[in-house]
Amino acid sequence: MSSLQHNLPPRPDSAKGGLVFHLIPHTHWDREWYLPLGALRPRLVRMVDDLLDRLNREPEYRSFFLDGQAVLLEDYLAIRPERRVEVEAAVREGRLGTGPWYVLADELVPSGEALLRNLLLGGSAARRFGAGLVFTGRVWAPCGATIPRLRVRH
């Protein structure tokens, strides 16, 4: 499991067997899917700037998940290196989730080995930003959408 905090506290009736829903704010970021990186990176920078400001100013906004791609933080910090300490603190505290992928997986293009290497690179990058162990049992918005469920520990 990710160390990402849930945004909604447990409901009092959950002990009685009632349903509990967890809302996990996240992004789905198609890096270079429909526009070149140079056109999308400014949008990413605005989004992460706003997100970091919100996490700092609103403690009740407990966490955000960057759709499983660690490369987003590298792209962001290439433009905003002065916010590295803030990014790393948010990741370390479980308020900003990243990884386990390096980039969104496209099972229709690479080999199985490429998918595993993507996970290895993503886990390594996530740890560089302060993430603890990254577990995955779900693939976040893959192209191809039939990647078998993996239980990988990085």
Q: Read off φ and ψ for residue 65, nearest 5 degrees.
A: -115, 125
Q: What is the pLDDT confidence band of residue 3, given thresholds at 50, 70 and 90? A: very low
Token digits of residue 99: 């990884």
20-153 under CATH 3.20.110.10, yes or no:
yes
Residue 144 has pLDDT above 60, yes or no: no
Q: What is the pLDDT confidence band of residue 138, given thresholds at 50, 70 and 90? A: low
Q: What is the pLDDT confidence band of residue 11, given thresholds at 50, 70 and 90? A: low
Residue 9 has pLDDT above 90, yes or no: no
State the pTM of this model. Answer: 0.77
Least confident piece of the model among 7-11, 35-39, 106-110: 7-11
Q: What is the mean pLDDT of residues 127-136?
A: 78
Round the average pLDDT of the chain to a whole number and report it: 79
Using a pLDDT cut of 70, give the percent of the chain over it. Answer: 71
Least confident piece of the model among 26-40, 51-65, 84-98, 120-134: 26-40
CA quadruple 79, 128, 140, 146: dihedral sign: positive
Say what the pLDDT of residue 119 is. 84
Residue 108's Cβ-count burial label (10 Å; 0-12, 13-18, 19+) is exposed
* Cα 92 to Cα 80: distance, rounded to the nearest angstrom: 19
* Cα 92 to Cα 88: distance, rounded to the nearest angstrom: 6
Q: What is the mean pLDDT of residues 93-115?
A: 81
What is the separation, in whole angstroms, between the first and last Cα of the chain? 12
Query: What residue type is assigned to position 79 of the chain?
Result: I
Residue 123 or 143, more confident: 123
153 forms beta bridges with: 135
User: Is-contact 101 2, C-beta < 8 A?
Assistant: no
* Cα 127 to Cα 50: distance, rounded to the nearest angstrom: 23
Residue 154 has pLDDT above 60, yes or no: no
Residue 146 has pLDDT above 50, yes or no: no
Hey, how many other C-beta atoms are within 10 angstroms of the C-beta on 87? 21
143 forms beta bridges with: 106
